Amino acid sequence: MNVDYRLLRVDLTKRKTETEEIPLEVIKKYIGGKGIGSKYLLEEIEPKIDPLGPKNKILFVAGPLTATYFPTSNRYGILYKSPLTGTYAESYSGGGAAQKMRAAGYFMVIIGGKSSTPIYLNITESKVEFKDASEIWGKDTIETYHYLGADARRDLDIMCIGPAGENLVKIANVQNNQHHSAGRCGPGAVMGSKNLKAIVFSGNRKPSLNRKKGFKELVQKILQKLRDLPHLYGSEGVYKKLGTPSIVDWTNELGCFPTRYFTAGYSEYSENFNAQALIEQILVKRVGCWNCPFTCGKYTEVKEGPYVCALEGPEYETIAAFGGMCDVRDIKAIAMLNEYCDRVGIDTISAGSLCGLAIEAKRRGRLPNSDKLKIDYNKPLEILEFLKDIVNKRGLGADFAMGTKYVTEKYHLEDFAMHIKGLDFAGYDPRAFRGFTTSYGVSPEGPTHLRSAFHSIEKDLPDYLEYEGKVAKMIDYEDKMALIDSLIVCKFIRTVLDWNTLIEIYQTIFDKRISKEGLKAITTEIITLSRKFNIREGFSCKDDQMPERVYKEKIINRYGVELGLDYEKYNKMLDEYYKFRGWDKNGIPK
């Protein structure tokens, strides 16, 4: 059996495993990561199953570059039916756990069923063990990491959930390497529903791609391309020096920083929590994922005061969620909230968004006993208590643990709640973009910034607020992101992954000639698989619409420019998108 593409199936109900080889022809067609995961998810999960029932499956998948010495080859993907949105869902995470999954000899692990008691899986090169997890059930993700020995053994790594996943909180993440998260759509709750606390991988296998003719030269070429952009990837470059918190300055400038739950597009207090503030106030050292030369991560600590914490972060999205949506004006307080989310295993974006929604709803008198509810903007300790209520499903927190869509419908908050398909927005207001906004709408799991990442391109276009001509440009970028998520490498090196380079990578891996059109046909097929999944689940083009507030309310940036979204023009862009993808006028794949 070719262990490079070996699949492990785990049935938690029967405590049985099977291995099989994924045929090379299938790998060539779907590549890995997002591509392979989408294909198997659509085929393996029965329509309309309960995402928190034993019939849901959770797929942990690598890409052909994972664990090779290609830079940033440290990521894995998780695919599942989302308990938060009911849609197809995918999440990715770096760190080092993916390398150990391949070192144990697996390209993909598909887990179904439900254990009758809490367990964790111990997966090595020679065996798969179902181990009792009763002693770690209830422990947070960092305690679990230490308990399972991930800090002590270099050949071992884990993916685990915290109390939020155990409690089936619908924004629960899977955590690895203490501070790395695969989240957004609730994979932690899927693991929790299966009584699966953690997966431990260990081994020493290395992908044979490392020894393949031409691969070393390809890696050298990529490294040179990265060296040629010192302002991004050098020791004084943006990633290493500032990291993602540097995004605060441009989003605030552009007017898309989601301030006070999207009631404004910029914060007057951004200098309290931008990259400079982080570096000056809490940075201890720069850290990075396995096999990455950039070390864009920031290990930070708050040693005294009310916000004592130690973590990797906060990254931009967490700053936007708590510093923006919840208006917390202190990087130390944001770091403390970030650490809490990591420990209990919840998505910081949805956590901040849910708290922002609670604050805004309370201020508008739209929640039961609004006047007595203790949560407000720039009150980090009140926000922390509310998060604890969510994680432990106490009082109103039990409703918010079900996610924004549930709360919106229960309390009739449709006029200002911000979500698409049930997922909270990432840290970029949709009224400040056009192409990127369309990708928010059509993204299969809701408004994540990572499906197209087109915001990073569109912001620099002179016509960034124009509607015409944006869809084709966005699709080109969305296709590239689908390839990056299939190969899988870190999106932060996307600047050097132009189409010619992507072609060269594909040809080197698979010894198969391919054109740009050939690669784009693959990505269209991959993206269409997730659309088919959603259509099968009952979603339609209506679910690609923005929240009503985005069409009705304008925000004003700091230069007095009004930012809004025209309903007709946005819908024209959706029509264009469906046509480009070869779907019918209702967005249904033909």
Residues of the shown chain interacting with ligand SF4 in the complex, contacts defined by CB under 6 A? 72, 74, 94, 239, 288-289, 292, 294-297, 490, 492
Q: How far apart are CA 551 and CA 545, in angstroms?
A: 10
Specify the residue, 296 or 413, whose C-beta has the smaller distance to ligand SF4: 296
Rounded to the nearest whole angstrom, what is the least distance from the CB of residue 244 to ligand SF4 in the complex?
A: 8
Q: How far apart are CA 277 and CA 273, in angstroms?
A: 5
User: Which residues, 6 or more positions from 216, have their beta carbon under 8 angstroms from its beta carbon?
Assistant: none
- CA-CA-CA-CA dihedral for 505, 27, 188, 186, to nearest 10: 80
Nearest to 309 by CA among 325, 288, 330: 330
Contact criterion met (CB below 8 Å) for 524 and 582: yes
Contact criterion met (CB below 8 Å) for 73 and 66: yes
Rounded to the nearest whole angstrom, what is the least distance from the CB of residue 457 to ligand SF4 in the complex?
A: 18
Angle between helices 470-487 and 499-510 (to 10 degrees): 30
Q: How far apart are CA 9 and CA 18, in angstroms?
A: 5
Rounded to the nearest whole angstrom, what is the least distance from the CB of residue 348 to ligand SF4 in the complex?
A: 15
Rounded to the nearest whole angstrom, what is the least distance from the CB of residue 492 to ligand SF4 in the complex?
A: 4
Specify the residue, 65 or 490, whose C-beta has the smaller distance to ligand SF4: 490
Specify the residue, 94 or 324, whose C-beta has the smaller distance to ligand SF4: 94
Rounded to the nearest whole angstrom, what is the least distance from the CB of residue 292 to ligand SF4 in the complex?
A: 3
Strands of the 297-302 sheet, one edge to the other: 283-287, 297-302, 309-312
Nearest to 143 by CA among 164, 119, 168, 160: 160
Specify the residue, 75 or 329, whose C-beta has the smaller distance to ligand SF4: 75
Q: For residue 131, how far is the Cα from the chain centroid?
A: 29
Rounded to the nearest whole angstrom, what is the least distance from the CB of residue 143 to ligand SF4 in the complex?
A: 24
Rounded to the nearest whole angstrom, what is the least distance from the CB of residue 145 to ligand SF4 in the complex?
A: 18
User: Which residues, 6 or more positions from 68, have their beta carbon under 8 angstroms from its beta carbon?
Assistant: 206, 207, 209, 210, 215, 219
Specify the residue, 70 or 88, whose C-beta has the smaller distance to ligand SF4: 70
Specify the residue, 54 or 237, whose C-beta has the smaller distance to ligand SF4: 237
Element (H, E) at 39: helix 33-44
Specify the residue, 179 or 194, whose C-beta has the smaller distance to ligand SF4: 179
Specify the residue, 56 or 318, whose C-beta has the smaller distance to ligand SF4: 318
Rounded to the nearest whole angstrom, what is the least distance from the CB of residue 300 to ligand SF4 in the complex?
A: 15
Cα dihedral 464, 470, 476, 478 sign: positive
User: Which residues, 6 or more positions from 99, have their beta carbon under 8 angstroms from its beta carbon?
Assistant: 66, 67, 73, 74, 157, 290, 291
Q: How far apart are CA 55 and CA 69, in angstroms?
A: 37
Specify the residue, 80 or 492, whose C-beta has the smaller distance to ligand SF4: 492
Rounded to the nearest whole angstrom, what is the least distance from the CB of residue 96 to ligand SF4 in the complex?
A: 10
Asked if the bond preceding 314 is cis, omega within 30° of 0, the reply is yes
Specify the residue, 174 or 359, whose C-beta has the smaller distance to ligand SF4: 174
Rounded to the nearest whole angstrom, what is the least distance from the CB of residue 91 to ligand SF4 in the complex?
A: 14
Rounded to the nearest whole angstrom, what is the least distance from the CB of residue 532 to ligand SF4 in the complex?
A: 30
User: Which residues, 6 or more positions from 134, have their beta carbon under 8 angstroms from its beta carbon?
Assistant: 117, 118
Q: How far apart are CA 452 and CA 456, in angstroms?
A: 9
Rounded to the nearest whole angstrom, what is the least distance from the CB of residue 129 to ligand SF4 in the complex?
A: 30
Specify the residue, 296 or 326, whose C-beta has the smaller distance to ligand SF4: 296
- 3-class DSSP state of 455: helix
Residues pairing with 312 in the sheet: 299
- Region of residue 54 (left: phi > 0; alpha: psi -120 to 50; beta: else): alpha
Rounded to the nearest whole angstrom, what is the least distance from the CB of residue 465 to ligand SF4 in the complex?
A: 30
Q: How far apart are CA 220 and CA 191, in angstroms?
A: 39
Specify the residue, 240 or 470, whose C-beta has the smaller distance to ligand SF4: 240
Longest Cα separation, the chain: 68
* Strand runs labelled E in 274-404: 283-287, 297-302, 309-312
Specify the residue, 207 or 288, whose C-beta has the smaller distance to ligand SF4: 288
User: Which residues, 6 or more positions from 467, have their beta carbon under 8 angstroms from its beta carbon?
Assistant: 434, 566, 569, 570, 572, 573
